[in-house]
């Protein structure tokens, strides 16, 4: 039996300007996600967790916390973009053109806008992407640019799972 390497992510050299990555996993937002996130971040706006209050607004239901939306869509992009990122440098031009509600399913995709060598670190490069998150019906709920430092080929620190010894067979 052959041991197959797991997905080890992209490195700087793998990114090309114009590449588009449709991220593979969608995620349905649950009421508990919204409640827990607002509590964890101390966001006290009742539109996120008080259904009676939210029903009196133009939305008629709780809005999903916008910073949850940013975190979720960033997380969805990790598989394709930032598995081997050394550091995020920033999120820019964050736009939330339409509301996200509990029960909606979010999907996302990213386009590589630019890449360059790091001037201060020879082991990484800098990549900027435009990421778009959208609901099950295609309605865009978030767009942003993200810039990150990603390791170059041969410079990614080893992952713990690659150092796991083979299981010993018992007699």
This prediction has a pTM of 0.87
- The answer to the question of residue 2 being in a domain is no
> CA 117 to CA 154: how far, in whole Å?
15
- Name the percent of the chain lying above pLDDT 70: 93
- Supply the pLDDT for residue 122: 92
Task: Assess whether pLDDT exceeds 60 at residue 162.
Answer: no
Residue 163 phi, psi (nearest 5): -105, 5
Cβ atoms 76, 23 nearer than 8 A: yes
Digit-coded pLDDT (tens) for 69-101: 999 999 999 999 989 899 999 999 999 999 999
Task: Give, in order, the Cα–Cα distances in Å from 138 to each of 9, 21, 47.
Answer: 27, 16, 24
pLDDT grade, residue 8 (50/70/90)? Answer: confident
What pLDDT sits at residue 137? 97
The residue-averaged pLDDT of 18-40 equals 93
Query: What would the mean pLDDT of 35-39 be, rounded to a whole number?
Result: 89
40: left (phi over 0), alpha (psi -120 to 50) or beta: alpha
Give 147 or 83, the one with higher predicted confidence. 147
The pLDDT value recorded for residue 109 is 97
Within a domain: 7: no
Q: Indicate if the pLDDT at residue 163 is higher than 80.
A: no
**pLDDT confidence bin for 164, thresholds 50/70/90:** low
The residue range of the domain holding 144 is: 12-154
Give the CA radius of gyration of the chain: 20
168 part of a folded domain? no
Query: Is the pLDDT score of 5 beyond 80?
Result: no
What was the pLDDT predicted at 171?
Answer: 61
How many structural domains is the chain composed of?
1
Report the half-sphere exposure of 39 (CA within 13 A, side-chain side). Answer: 8
Q: How confident is the model at residue 147 (pLDDT cuts 50, 70, 90)?
A: very high
E runs forming strands in 15-169: 20-22, 27-28, 85-95, 105-117, 124-135, 140-151
For residue 21, tell me if it sits in a domain: yes
The enclosing domain of 70 has a CATH number of 3.10.129.10
Does residue 58 lie in a domain region?
yes
């Amino acid at each position: 039996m052959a041991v197959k390497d797991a997905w080890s992510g992209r490195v700087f050299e793998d990114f090309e300007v114009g590449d588009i990555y449709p991220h593979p996993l969608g995620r349905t937002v649950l009421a508990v996600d919204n409640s827990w996130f607002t509590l964890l971040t101390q966001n006290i706006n009742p539109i996120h967790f008080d259904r009676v209050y939210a029903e009196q607004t133009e939305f008629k239901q709780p809005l999903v916390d916008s910073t949850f939306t940013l975190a979720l869509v960033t997380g969805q992009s990790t598989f394709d973009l930032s598995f081997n990122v050394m550091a995020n440098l920033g999120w820019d031009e964050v736009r939330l053109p339409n509301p996200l509600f509990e029960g909606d399913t979010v999907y996302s995709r990213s386009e590589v806008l630019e890449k360059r060598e790091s001037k201060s670190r020879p082991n990484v490069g800098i990549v900027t992407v435009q990421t778009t998150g959208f609901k099950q019906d295609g309605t865009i709920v978030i767009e942003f640019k993200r810039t990150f430092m990603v390791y170059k080929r041969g410079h990614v620190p080893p992952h713990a799972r690659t150092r796991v010894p083979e299981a010993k067979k018992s007699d």
